[in-house]
Amino acid sequence: MSYSALSHLECPRCGACHDADLVHGTCGCGSPLLARYDLRAAAGLTSPQDIAGRPADLWRYHELLPVRAAGHVVTLGEGMTPMLAMPRLGKALGVPNLLMKDEGLLPTGTFKARGAAIGVSRAAELGVTAIAMPTNGNAGAAWAAYAARAEMRSLVVMPAAAPAIARAQCAAAGAELYLVEGLIGDAGRLIADAVARRGGYLNATTLGEPYRIEGKKTMGLEIAEQLGWRMPDVIVYPTGGGVGIIGIYKAFRELTELGWVRGGMPRLVAVQAAGCAPIVAAFGAGAAESEPWPDASTVAFGITVPKALGDFLILEAIYATGGTAVAVTDQALLADQREVARLEGSIICPEGAACFAAVRQLRESGWLAEADEVVVLNTGTGLIYPETMPADVPVLPASGSCA
């Protein structure tokens, strides 16, 4: 019995096929590579009924994932995060069928654990012993943790302005960590140079290797399964490098081909911060690719990506599904981060909060209808961003009273 139905790697730009059992970065043409599966074989190996009986983690979809042998799985228990109804917030926003998939419960605190679990497992399976990556913080924290568990070395470079907790996470997991006075693109140049000069490292930059996206894809697989193998109307996603939105789109296309899911493709919404919105600008211009965003800055640090390698894939997913791209201000997203905690009790990350601010905007503009079933991805816990939730509270003397 095959654990994975992985067949080959395909270039979405030039169409070239590559051997999936060799270590690959991007295609010779510069495009990210996508993993392709023998879906007919997968359908013969498993079914939604079969999957329902498996453990509640993302490995339940192993036929649609790239790791070939169960023994190569590196796991910290990731996947099957809750899909929560948001009735009070939904009512306030005029979208009563509002759901939140809460990725804040994953190991390392963000959805980055999904990509790291699959990426590190597959890299280890192919014999890789060291990974290197530029990061806005959360991906580095996740890859460092999974690398530690796989007994792999990790080299991480992140902007000096990245959230402090991510530094601590990388350091604790034994990563070789550097801060750069710049943005993620500057970190990327340092990593590419180190990988070329040192040798022996896999460059695991966003979409620079083909398997991180396969981990992110499991968000889409879980959404479909948690809705009873049915599509929602709209999915709202905080978009930086775009791996999540591309992965969710890929999941739904694979499920559609398998015939496992009812309903049409959901409209995919890419949410960005007003201080870094290259995809929103490209979408507004009807363009197929984005232009680098100058002087990028937002409190939603994970989505500070001035130019994504996979921008054309993000835009394709939006155009193909009748979706849209929206920018929200830091002020608006911070206000909705507080609103989610106040009305629903959930402490979400600023990137996730940007999605709720976008839902508010899209409902006001009429793009979202009251009847739409809307799934928001909260990509991480707010607990790793304490500076976004300042609490000014009275201090009492021990002999005081709050009666």
Q: Answer with the entry of Zn ion, ligand PLP, none that 239 interacts with (C-beta below 5 to 8 A by kind).
A: ligand PLP
Size of the site for Zn ion (CB under 5 A): 7
34 belongs to the binding site for Zn ion (CB under 5 A):
no
Q: How far is the CB of 14 from Zn ion (least distance, A)?
A: 3
- The Cα 63–Cα 370 span in angstroms is 37
Pick 206 or 218: Cβ nearer ligand PLP: 206
Shortest distance in whole angstroms from residue 199 CB to Zn ion: 24
170 binds, among ligand PLP, Zn ion, none (CB under 5 to 8 A by kind): none
Each residue of 152-164: b (16+ CB within 10 Å) or e?
bbbbbbbbebbbe
Q: Which is nearer to ligand PLP, 32 or 380 (CB)?
A: 380
Q: Specify the residue, 31 or 321, whose C-beta has the smaller distance to Zn ion.
A: 31
Closest of 63, 183, 86 to residue 134, by C-alpha: 183
330 binds, among ligand PLP, Zn ion, none (CB under 5 to 8 A by kind): none
Among ligand PLP, Zn ion, none, what does residue 138 contact (CB within 5–8 Å per kind)? ligand PLP
- The nearer residue to Zn ion, 4 or 31, going by C-beta atoms, is 31
Partnered with residue 273 across adjacent β-strands are: 276, 328
Cα angle: 94, vertex 100, 106; to 5 degrees: 165
Cα dihedral 205, 180, 147, 214, rounded to 10, equals -20
Pair 87, 96: CB distance under 8 Å: yes
CB of 10 to Zn ion, least distance (A): 9
CB of residue 335 to ligand PLP, shortest distance in Å: 18
**CA–CA separation, 276 and 239 (whole Å):** 10
The yes or no reply on residue 17 touching Zn ion (CB under 5 A) is no
Strands 34-37 and 6-10: antiparallel
Q: Which helix (H) or strand (E) holds 318?
A: helix 311-321
Residue 303's binding partner, choosing from Zn ion, ligand PLP, none, with beta-carbon cut-off 5 to 8 A by kind? ligand PLP
Q: Are 365 and 330 in contact (CB under 8 A)?
A: no
The item of Zn ion, ligand PLP, none sharing an interface with residue 238, based on CB under 5 to 8 Å by kind, is ligand PLP
Q: 3-class DSSP state for residue 372?
A: coil
| 70 part of the interface to Zn ion, by CB under 5 A | no
Q: Give residue number: closest CB to ligand PLP.
A: 302
Question: C-alpha dihedral over 327, 310, 34, 234, to 10 degrees?
Answer: 10
Cα 249 to its chain centre, rounded Å, is 12
Nearer to ligand PLP, 72 or 253 (CB): 253
In the complex, what is the shortest distance from the CB of residue 167 to ligand PLP, in angstroms, rounded to a whole number? Answer: 14
Residues 364-376 as b or e (16 or more Cβ within 10 Å = b): eeebbeeebbbbb
Count Cβ atoms below 10 Å from residue 304 Cβ, excluding itself: 23
Beta carbon of residue 145, minimum distance to ligand PLP (angstroms, whole number): 14
Instruction: Please name the helix (run of DSSP H) or strand (run of DSSP E) that holds residue 113, with its range, or none.
Output: helix 112-125
345's CB contacts (< 8 A; 6+ apart) are none
27 touches, from ligand PLP, Zn ion, none (C-beta below 5 to 8 Å by class): Zn ion
Distance in angstroms (rounded) separating the CA atoms of residues 165 and 375: 28
Q: Is 177 in the site for Zn ion (CB under 5 A)?
A: no
Binding-site member from 9, 11, 142, 368 for Zn ion (CB under 5 A): 11
Alpha carbons 33 and 11: distance in angstroms, whole number: 5
C-beta of 339: minimal distance to ligand PLP in Å?
18
Q: Which does 31 bind (CB under 5 to 8 A by kind): Zn ion, ligand PLP, none?
A: Zn ion
Residues that bind ligand PLP (CB under 6 A): 110, 112, 136, 138-139, 206, 238-244, 302-303, 349, 351, 379-380
**According to CB under 5 A, which one of 31, 110, 290, 379 is a site residue for Zn ion?**
31
- Give the nearer residue to ligand PLP in terms of CB position, either 81 or 138: 138
Positions in the binding site for Zn ion (CB under 5 A): 11, 13-14, 16, 27, 29, 31
